[in-house]
Amino acid sequence: MTRVSASETPAVILPTVAREVEEFVAAGGWEQPPQLFALVATSDLLDQQPELRDQLDPHSSPLTPIAQDELSGDLGDALAGIEWPPAVTGCALAQEIVVLPPEAETELSHGELDDEAARRFAAEHPARREARLVAAVLRDGSVSCVLRLRGTVEVPEEFVEHPELAPNLTDALLATLRP
C-alpha cells in the first residue's frame, strides 16, 4: 500500500500538498476551470516510473499530485462519478470561487434565492472577492483547505488555511475515495 515518511503523518503532509497544488495552479493565472489532482505516494510512483527519480524525492515530498483530465459539466455530478483506484492515496481539487463578507452571507442565507439567483447575487455584490480554493483529502479522512483571495489595487492578496473551509467539497472528495 502507500508508504510515507515515518517522520511525517498525513495531517502534516496534506497542508503542504494543498499549498503545492495551489502554487501549481496559480502559475497558470486566474480564470481557470476546476482542476482535479490524484495524490499518490511518491515512493510508489517511483517504483512504477523509475525514470522520474531525478524529478521527485520521496523524502521531501512523500505525496505527489498528478493533474487529471479537465472536469466537464456540473462539478458535483463530475465528482459523484469518480472512483479512484487503490493506488491513489488522496485527491485535491482547485477551483475559483467568490467570497462574500459575513453580512452578505447572512443576507444570502435568509433570502429565498434559487442557485442561479444566488450566483448572480454573489457575482454582483460590491464587496465580493475572487478566490482560489484548494481542497485536499486522504483516504484516512484527513482534510486540508487553502484559499488564496485575489488581490486588488485596494486589497492585498491573502491566504487562509483551515480544514473546514469547504466541508461539502471535502465530503464530496472523500466520497470519491471510498471503495
1 falls in which pLDDT band (50, 70, 90)?
A: very low
60 within 8 A of 175, measured Cβ to Cβ: no
Q: Helix (H, G, I), strand (E, B), or coil: what is residue 68?
A: coil
pLDDT class of 5 with cuts at 50, 70, 90: very low
Residue 59 pLDDT grade (very low, low, confident, very high; cuts 50, 70, 90): low
Give the model's confidence band at 33: pLDDT under 50 very low, under 70 low, under 90 confident, else very high.
very high
- Is pTM beyond 0.75 here? yes
Residue 144: predicted pLDDT: 97
Phi and psi angles of residue 87, each rounded to the nearest 5 degrees, phi first: -70, -15
Taking the C-alpha atoms of residue 139 and residue 177, their distance in angstroms, rounded to an integer, is: 6
pLDDT tens for 135-165 read 999 999 999 999 999 988 788 889 999 999 9
- Where along the chain do its domains lie? 10-100+127-177
Task: Name which of 138, 130, 164, 173 is nearest 41 in CA terms.
Answer: 138
Instruction: Please list, residue by residue across 22-44, b when 16 or more beta carbons sit within 10 angstroms of its beta carbon and e when fewer do.
Output: bebbeeeeeeeebbbbbbbbbbb
